[in-house]
Structure 1
Amino acid sequence: MDLHKIIHSALHEFIQTYIPDADLTLDDVLLSYITGVLEDLGSQQSVEENFDVEVFGEMLEAYIPGFAEIDVKVCEMMFSLASKLATARTSSEWESQEQHLLEMFPKCSLSEARSALSIAKGDMEEAVRLIIEGDVQLSPTPINVNQGKSISSLADQKLKESILEYMLVDSEEDNKTHRPVAPKDAPKKLVRYHGNQVVTTKGERYQLVKKNETDDMKKTYVNLKPARKYRFH
């Protein structure tokens, strides 16, 4: 709610009680003055003796004739209005901070944002830290009602199909004689070596082809023998 509207409404109600015919057209200058006075009264350092009723009455007398004659409950009205403004201002600030938290943490609910601000005593940075460190637990995203119904219906359908599958008996299957399937013969491994002789991958053995040599050719071969070793005594 606008603070100026609260001030105007409270002054209108108060002045109408004592000056029914008063003109309550308040300009921005007067509203700014009254707002400043109320902010001072709403501060923690303010005490009732610091509020000068006479100066305040003279200021409003210039705008509202006859206001200076009201000296009964002006002080009480001003302190009550200051308290109301402080509450409204705090509420507005908290709503703004709650909105910021909801924008920063989409999974955070309104109650969780309020809880974080309450623990942090209105300190925005402290509230953010509490949520990040997990001191304020965020509730998981709720499942959509329609989505939950569809998941449940699919599970029920699968359960029904499995029950029917095991309940139904196929008479043809009962009449069949089931025999174990004979294992297939393992392929024979192809040996590359057999009897110290090289064979092909198809199992074919290589044969050494001897050349037919004449005796004259054999005589040309030199048989190299190792030299004899002589031992000297």
Structure 2
Amino acid sequence: MDLQKIIHSALHEFIQTYIPDADLSTLDDVLLSYITGVLEDLGSQQSVEENFDVEVFAEMLEAYIPGFAEIDSVKVCEMMFSLASKLATARTSGVSYVHFLSVAKIISLKLTSEPPQTEMQCLKTQTEGATLPVSEWEAQEQHLLEMFPKCSLTEARSALSIAKGDMEEAVRLIIEGDVQLSPTPLNVNHGKSISSLFVTLLHLNRYMLVDREEDNKTHRPVAPKDAPKKLVRYHGNQVVTTKGERYQLVKKNEAEDMKKTYVNLKPARKYRFH
């Protein structure tokens, strides 16, 4: 079986599982070529050093198949890795993949000249879901790669697919940042590898505890009770102030005999002699 048929059948089965009412007539050559490029990156030897951006992939397919972005990202990762392993097995077993190989060869060649006029005349009217010939599509991808050196092949395909083959619209998407450009790696892998990202998502899906009961609860704070009345404090049958004083001066009534024993010490007078 042709490798592109393997991709088409796998996508058909996956989409029908989660979106039964999806219109699969939008799975054209443009979308399949984009998915083929992603699977090439996953199956390459450098796949460990690259990142599979699930959000960009889901946004791309959402433009063709509404509702695809609502599928769990872990399920999408599992499907893509399973499909990449199937394609690798099909290559080693000698399965013919003429279209798959032709697309890979065209991508690897550097296009230095404009496409012939006969190919330019094959351009179809740009309508909703319109497609371009393979040769002109690859030529536009090469032009984008020459204009934006930091742009990868997958990002160029994504921009052209979102723009429906319009070169100016694809350039505008890249300039305005709608398609994120990956920075040039400086011999350091700043992001997670594909395998580690997949394992992390898988572990979170299996073992992460989500307290859904807490989300269903409505916080209703208890109304405060009436403030207690200020108590009047007494000390020695007298009202004690509540302004912060901790002590009260208590005067003792002394007897008259005791007062007579007190001696008034006055300083001696100073005399001056002339």
TM bucket (normalised to shorter chain) is: 0.3 to 0.5
SS in 2 for 1:152: helix
Measured in 2, the distance between the counterparts of 1:51 and 1:70 equals 16
Deviates more, 1:32-41 or 1:94-103: 94-103
Cα distance, 1:23 vs structure 2: 1.1
**CA separation of 1:103/1:73 partners in 2, compared to 1, >3 Å: closer, same or farther?**
closer
CA separation in 2, counterparts of 1:103 and 1:212? 107
**RMSD between aligned residues:** 28.0
Cα pair 1:102 1:113 within 8 Å, conserved: yes
Higher relative CO (Cα under 8 Å, sequence separation at least 6) belongs to: 2
CA gap of 1:212–1:185, structure 2 versus 1, over 3 A, is same
Q: Residues 188 and 168 of structure 1: is their aligned pair in 2 closer, same or farther, counting only changes over 3 Å?
A: same
Gaps of 5+ in 2: 92-134
In structure 2, the residue corresponding to 1:140 is in which secondary structure? coil
Measure the CA separation in 2 of the matches of 1:40 and 1:170.
37
Name the stretch that deviates more: 75-84 or 218-227: 218-227
User: Over residues 157-184 of structure 1, what are the superposed CA-to-partner deviations in whole Å (9 max), with x where a residue is unaligned?
Assistant: xxx9999999999999999999999999
Residue-pair matches, total: 226
Cα shift readout 1:117-176 (whole Å, capped 9, x = no counterpart): 99999999999999999999999999999999999999xxxxx99999999999999999
Structure 1 residues 127 and 21, CA, compared in 2 at 3 Å: closer, same or farther?
closer
- For the structure 1 residues 125 and 191, does the alpha-carbon distance in structure 2 shift closer, same or farther, using more than 3 Å as the test? farther
The answer to whether the Cα contact below 8 Å between 2:39 and 2:84 also exists between their aligned partners in 1 is yes
Q: 1:184 to 1:166 in 2, by over 3 A?
A: farther
- TM-score norm. by structure 1 comes to 0.37
Q: Indicate if the aligned counterparts of 1:197 and 1:206 stay in contact, CA closer than 8 A.
A: no
Which residue of structure 2 aligns with residue 20 of structure 1? Answer: 20
Answer whether contact 1:94 1:122 (CA < 8 A) is retained.
yes
Question: Secondary structure at 1:145's aligned position in 2?
Answer: coil
| Secondary structure at 1:203 match in 2 | coil
Q: 1:106 to 1:218 in 2, by over 3 A?
A: farther
CA distance 1:7–1:153, change in 2 (3 Å)? closer
Residue by residue, what CA displacement relative to the aligned partner does 1:42-72 show, whole Å, maximum 9, x if unpaired? 1122139610000000000000000011124
Q: Structure 1 residues 117, 193: closer, same or farther in 2, change over 3 A?
A: same
Is 1:192 aligned with 2:194? no
Distance of aligned partners of 1:2 and 1:223 in 2 relative to their CA distance in 1, 3 Å threshold: same
Of 22-31 and 119-128, the range deviating more from structure 2: 119-128
User: Which piece of structure 1 moves more, 190-199 or 70-79?
Assistant: 190-199
Task: Flag the 1:84–1:227 CA change in 2: closer, same or farther, 3 A.
Answer: closer
- Contact conserved, 1:191 with 1:203, CA < 8 A, in 2? no
**Any gaps of 5 or more consecutive residues in structure 1?**
155-159
In structure 2, the CA distance between the partners of 1:224 and 1:131, relative to structure 1 (3 Å rule), is same
Q: Which moved more, 1:39-48 or 1:76-85?
A: 39-48
Moved more, 218-227 or 51-60: 218-227
Structure 1 residues 113 and 231: CA distance shift in structure 2, 3 A: same
C-alpha contact (below 8 Å) 2:159/2:179 kept by paired residues: yes
Higher CA-based Rg: 1
When normalised by structure 2's length, the TM-score is: 0.32
Contact 2:10 2:83 in 1 (8 A): yes
Task: Report what 2:51 is aligned to.
Answer: 50
Q: How far apart, CA to CA, are the structure 2 residues paired with 1:68 and 1:186?
A: 55
Q: CA deviation at 1:15?
A: 0.9
